[in-house]
Amino acid sequence: MVNRSQAPAIKDAVDFEILLKPYEKFNLDNGIPVYAIRSEEQETLQLELIFPAGSWFETENLIASATNFLMKNGTSKHSALEINEMAEYYGAYLNRACFHENATYTLHCLTKHTADLLPVLQEVILDPVFPEEELSTFVQNMKQKLAVNLTKCDFVANRHIDKFLFGEFHPYGRVSNMLAYDALQTESLKAFYKKHYTYNNCKIFIAGNLPANIIPLLNQYFGSTKWNGEELIVRPELPVLPAEEKKYRIFNDENGVQGAVRIARPFPNRYHPDFGKMLVLNTIFGGYFGSRLMSNIREEKGYTYGIHSQIYNFRQVSGINIQTEAGRDVCEATVTEVYKEMERLKNEEIPEEELSLVRNFMIGSILGDLDGAFHVIQRWKNLILNDLDENYFYNNIRIIKTITAAELQQLAQQYYNKEDFYELIVI
Amino acid sequence: MIHFNRFTLENGLRVIVHEDNTTPMAVVNVLYDVGARDENPQQTGFAHLFEHLMFGGSVNIPEYDEPLQMAGGENNAFTTNDLTNYYIELPAENLETAFWLESDRMLSLAFSEKSLEVQRKVVTEEFKEHYINKPYGDVGHKLRALSYTSHPYRWQTIGKELSHIENAQLEDVKNFFFRHYRPINAILVVAGKVTTEQVKALAEKWFGDIPSGEKYVRSLPVEPPQKASNFLEVKAKVPLDALYKAYHIYPRNDQRYYAADLISDILSGGGSSRLHQVLVKEKKLFSNIDCYHFGSIDAGLLCIEGKLVKGVKMKDAEKGIQEELEKLQQNIIPERELQKVKNRVESMLAFEDMGLLSRANNLAFYELLGDAAFMNKEFENYERVTKEDIHREAQIIFNEKNSNTIHYYAGN
């Protein structure tokens, strides 16, 4: 009979060697850098074009995301429907996304269809025309979506907490609103597009099973001309303006049965020496299923379905944000417990067993995250777009493996002080 | 093509091994052949509540999560109307930890009163978060109750009402466990950097001595064919009017299921799909519209749901949908459009197969359907669908008598 009370031996995290597979780099004829991770084992690929066209660079609210969204909705040769049909005929996904810093277009497809799809991607990037009617449909539908979202306590809470941390005029704290949608004009979208989606601002990341002629293909569609001219994008300095008042209680729905709790503070960005260390402390505090917050507030008290603490990955300045949706009558108790857990981390050293568990969990999770070409390129993208290299990645791994309980306690004493946190409940 | 080996332990546990040397990871996936459809109508939500209790410690291991995290692993689980599935992903070197944990909780749970008490609360909060405190959150429940008269698909996995979860007793938990969570009712899939020999040895070692249990024989109430359309009007505190329609389709093992699936793609798979193009872009009746189906093992529902553009009348919105459905009933679709939705499926399957976890989940699911090898035949089933099948099925599915409609009005 096997002895079930005895756990099988395990290999410890510190003994795992994690390797970030190096990328191949090419330059197209016009200089666009292409970063590639090949994997012959799959039949799919992912191709992403990235531009400094996020909300950081907008001069009026929502211009960046509207431009990004509507590039796909009509070119000088094809309507939105025709573009969608061309991509979807090959079972491809042509997605766009707009973030604080960057905006992207991503093609996911079967490798065998790459050559058929690149012309579609090229049209969307090089030749969008922003039809009036597409804009008005977009505005109408986005306003409807916003109206629905504004009835949700979690959505409302997310908007407020970022506003408190960064100020409502800063891109990290600015939120959508009905008036801003109404103010959008095709002329300003065109201007924003022309300025930011240019060949010299473009980076390409590609991963998966790449066709043998991928570089000639990319050259043909994106590398042969100086498309959209040569705009130098200067990243403006934008000061954050955090709110004065720290404590908020907002009633959004008088019949709400839950409240959205947010407890947050500003935190230095990823270039600060404490950032990598704080990722470890944050995991212990609220970053995984066995975290202090989950153990206490979900698994011990049953106040919520889930509670998490995250560290924002924003470029200029980051933040620590603890968030949960809790029963209406236990929201205040939840807030109290969150601070109690901060105090415990400040007053008591983390037991070696817990720390070792978190080291292993974090390393195991990085190992799993590096599985497959799409995941590897994602890591590289985050490094490259933030002007970092593999040393940053390996340094963070070293921190996970070696940080001490004493260092973590010091970090807690520095960053987990109640008076530094904004506190919000939206019911 | 997903390769796998298969064997059965003496106690009836079916084991599937999928070797993949390109990853440093391993996945251990345990599927139990029990879902919300197997619940007592007076105790709905139980299968899902039970899933939570599976993390509350087992007979020899007081804490499930900690040793797994110590081994660098992550885990989760999900419950559907049909099945309950647990999975672990961890570095392949630590594979045995997963066998130890999964086998002990198949042997027996700790059945702690405290765990039940806490998880009742946690699931109550989950219920509130997703179904009460969200605009339109009650629609799924209402649509099922309207469409099914007899089959247990008439309730959602979260349960019909909060009281069912609040009233769950430890005795019920024990009975449920020993009826359903036995080797004979389970499928184990191990995938990743593993060998079949290694898995055989580990499976024998850890699962071999668990009593087989009794095969659970499912005999669920059969849903009689729907004879007349059903209709419900709802007024709720939401900002926009919404329209929901549901139609009965086919069991997962029925070839007609594939035609129904392709119909949902024709109607709303992507920006060039019919409902989006005509009703959102051209006629501007809806700000968003979707068509999807449950993908359930017994005969499921194909649903269409959309939010009306402010100012549009419900009857005009409904007429818009009706006209699109009639086009499918009256005309054979162009060859290219059929090819488009088939290509979409081919691509979707290829992307799904990239993930180790998804391959393991799917092998278990297809084994539950009857044979893990079905996974490799899935695309052929889609390829076999003809334009005529689509035409015929559109006429049958979208027959008015087969429809269930909810007019969901914004009110105060």
CATH of the domain at A52: 3.30.830.10
The answer to whether residue B213 scores a pLDDT higher than 70 is: yes
Q: What is the pLDDT of residues A95-141, one digit of tens each?
A: 999 999 999 999 999 999 999 999 999 999 999 999 999 999 999 99
Q: Is A78 part of a structural domain of the chain?
A: yes
Give the best residue of A111, A257, A296 to mutate against chain B (max B CB count within 10 A). Answer: A257
Tokens of A309: 């603490």
- Among residues B207, B239, B272, the one where a domain terminates is B207
Q: Give the β-pairing of B25-32 and A318-327.
A: unpaired
Does residue B132 sit in the same domain as residue B190?
Answer: yes
Does residue A171 sit in the same domain as residue A259?
Answer: no
Q: Per the CB < 8 Å rule, is A147 touching B284?
A: no
Percent of chain A with pLDDT over 70: 100
Q: Is A2 part of a structural domain of the chain?
A: no
HSE-up (13 A, CA, CB side) for residue A118: 19
Alpha-carbon distance B53 to B45, whole Å? 13
Does residue A114 sit in the same domain as residue A207?
Answer: yes
| A125: nearest Cα among A56, A23, A32 | A32
B165 neighbors B171 (Cβ within 8 angstroms) = no
Does residue A155 sit in the same domain as residue A273?
Answer: no
Does residue A88 sit in the same domain as residue A211?
Answer: yes
**Domain count along chain B:** 2
Does residue A258 sit in the same domain as residue A205?
Answer: no
| A139: nearest Cα among A62, A56, A55 | A62
B350 vs A44, A141, A153: nearest CB: A44
CA distances from residue B404 to B228, B244, B266, B269, B289 in whole angstroms, order as listed: 9, 8, 21, 22, 17
Q: Is A72 part of a structural domain of the chain?
A: yes
- Among residues B146, B174, B207, the one where a domain terminates is B207
Kind plus residue range of the DSSP H or E element containing B410: strand B403-410
Does residue A161 sit in the same domain as residue A302?
Answer: no
**Domain count along chain A:** 2
A290 neighbors A364 (Cβ within 8 angstroms) = no
Q: What is the pLDDT of residues B315-346, one digit of tens each?
A: 999 999 999 999 999 999 999 999 999 999 99
Interchain CB contact of B73 with A (< 8 Å): yes
Average predicted confidence (pLDDT) for chain A: 96
Does residue B181 sit in the same domain as residue B269?
Answer: no
| Radius of gyration from C-alpha coordinates of chain A | 24
ipTM, two decimals, is 0.93
Q: What is the pLDDT of residues A274-284, one digit of tens each?
A: 999 999 999 99
Q: Is B220 part of a structural domain of the chain?
A: no
| B235: nearest Cα among B59, B409, B373, B93 | B409
The answer to whether residue B412 scores a pLDDT higher than 80 is: no
pLDDT of residue A13: 76
Does residue A287 sit in the same domain as residue A359?
Answer: yes
Domain, as residue range, for A171: 24-223
Does residue B107 sit in the same domain as residue B38?
Answer: yes
Does residue A296 sit in the same domain as residue A411?
Answer: yes
Does residue B144 sit in the same domain as residue B293?
Answer: no
Does residue B252 sit in the same domain as residue B298?
Answer: yes
Q: How far is A299 from chain B (nearest CA, A)?
A: 7
Q: What is the pLDDT of residues B97-129, one digit of tens each?
A: 999 999 999 999 999 899 999 999 999 999 998
Q: Is B273 part of a structural domain of the chain?
A: yes
pLDDT of residue A41: 87
Q: What is the pLDDT of residues B89-102, one digit of tens each?
A: 999 999 999 999 99
CATH of the domain at B199: 3.30.830.10
Alpha-carbon distance A364 to A372, whole Å? 15
- Among residues A223, A256, A271, the one where a domain terminates is A223
Q: Per the CB < 8 Å rule, is A364 touching B73?
A: yes
Interchain CB contact of B72 with A (< 8 Å): yes
Does residue A212 sit in the same domain as residue A258?
Answer: no
Largest CA distance in chain A: 76
3-state percent breakdown (helix, strand, coil) of chain A, nearest 5: 50, 20, 35
- pTM score, whole prediction: 0.95
Does residue A157 sit in the same domain as residue A263?
Answer: no
The answer to whether residue A304 scores a pLDDT higher than 80 is: yes
Which residues on A lie below 8 Å from B104 (Cβ)? 4
| A86: nearest Cα among B343, B52, B382, B92 | B343
Domain, as residue range, for B184: 5-207
Does residue A322 sit in the same domain as residue A260?
Answer: yes
Does residue A63 sit in the same domain as residue A207?
Answer: yes
Q: What is the pLDDT of residues B56-88, one digit of tens each?
A: 999 999 999 999 999 999 999 999 999 999 999
pLDDT band at A1 (very low <50, low <70, confident <90, very high): confident
Does residue B46 sit in the same domain as residue B12?
Answer: yes
Does residue B173 sit in the same domain as residue B245?
Answer: no
Interchain CB contact of B119 with A (< 8 Å): yes
Q: Is B275 part of a structural domain of the chain?
A: yes
